[in-house]
């Protein structure tokens, strides 16, 4: 099984940590959306798309990748993120909608807290300091290993 993980992690590299653990578990090719043409997705059986959540959605480069990639009925997709605070379903909604419109088969979603120093939180040292932590990374590894 060939697996690809595309991850944008622009704030503190939080989501990159999650993506790396998942890539190890799945023996997946891990890359930034800037470094892979969406047409490459055709070569893979399992594709993970993730980023931090910025203004209630995934990074624009991930959504764009999803919009432009080809989708086959026999491929499986999963979505992941790190986030400051809002429930993950809110942040995953836009990307999920994009994938659904294309007929992509989404088999799992993962999200955990990530250190967030955006705006006034910076003055307090940020939200979720130390996240993702060892437990978050372990949960991410298990999620990847147990994907259907
Ligand atoms: C510009 C900006 C906007 C953000 N908007 C949200 C948001 O809408 N909801 C949320 O839960 N977290 C939000 N966050 C927090 C990030 O999702 C969180 O810090 C995440 O772990 C960043 O991941 P990264 O280090 O991989 O980029 C925002 C952070 C930034 C910098």
What confidence tens digit (pLDDT) does each residue in 108-117 have?
A: 999 999 999 9
Ligand 1 centre to CA of 113 (Å) is: 9
What pLDDT is recorded for position 129?
93
Average per-residue pLDDT in the chain? 96
Q: How many helices (H) and strands (E) does the chain have?
A: 4, 5
Q: Closest ligand 1 atom, CA of 86? A: 11
pTM value is 0.97
User: Which of 7, 86, 116, when mutated, tests ligand 1's pocket best, judged by the most ligand atoms within 8 Å of its CB?
Assistant: 116
89: which residues sit within 8 A by CB, 6+ positions away?
A: none
Domain boundaries, the chain: 3-145
Residue range 99-109, pLDDT digits in tens: 999 999 999 99
Cα 15 to Cα 87: distance, rounded to the nearest angstrom:
16
Which of the four CATH numbers 1.10.260.40, 3.30.460.10, 3.40.50.360, 3.40.50.10490 does domain 3-145 have?
3.40.50.360
Q: How far is the CA of 9 from the centre of ligand 1 (A)?
A: 9
User: Which tens digit of pLDDT belongs to each residue from 21-50?
Assistant: 999 999 999 999 999 999 999 999 999 999
Q: Considering only CA atoms, which residue is closest to atom 15 of ligand 1?
A: 84
């Amino acid at each position: 099984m060939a697996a690809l993980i595309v991850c944008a992690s622009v704030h503190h590299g939080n989501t990159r940590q999650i993506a790396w653990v998942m890539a190890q578990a799945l023996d997946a090719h891990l890359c930034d959306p800037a470094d892979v043409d969406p047409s490459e997705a055709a070569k893979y059986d399992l594709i993970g798309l993730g980023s931090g959540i910025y203004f209630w959605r995934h990074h624009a480069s991930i959504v764009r990748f999803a919009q432009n990639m080809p989708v086959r009925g026999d491929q499986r997709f999963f979505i992941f993120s790190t986030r400051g605070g809002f429930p993950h379903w809110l942040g995953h909604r836009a990307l999920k909608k994009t994938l659904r419109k294309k007929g992509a088969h989404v088999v799992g979603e993962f999200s955990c807290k990530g250190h967030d120093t955006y705006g006034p939180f910076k003055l307090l040292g940020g939200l979720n300091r130390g996240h993702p932590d060892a437990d978050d990374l372990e949960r991410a590894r298990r999620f990847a290993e147990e994907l259907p």
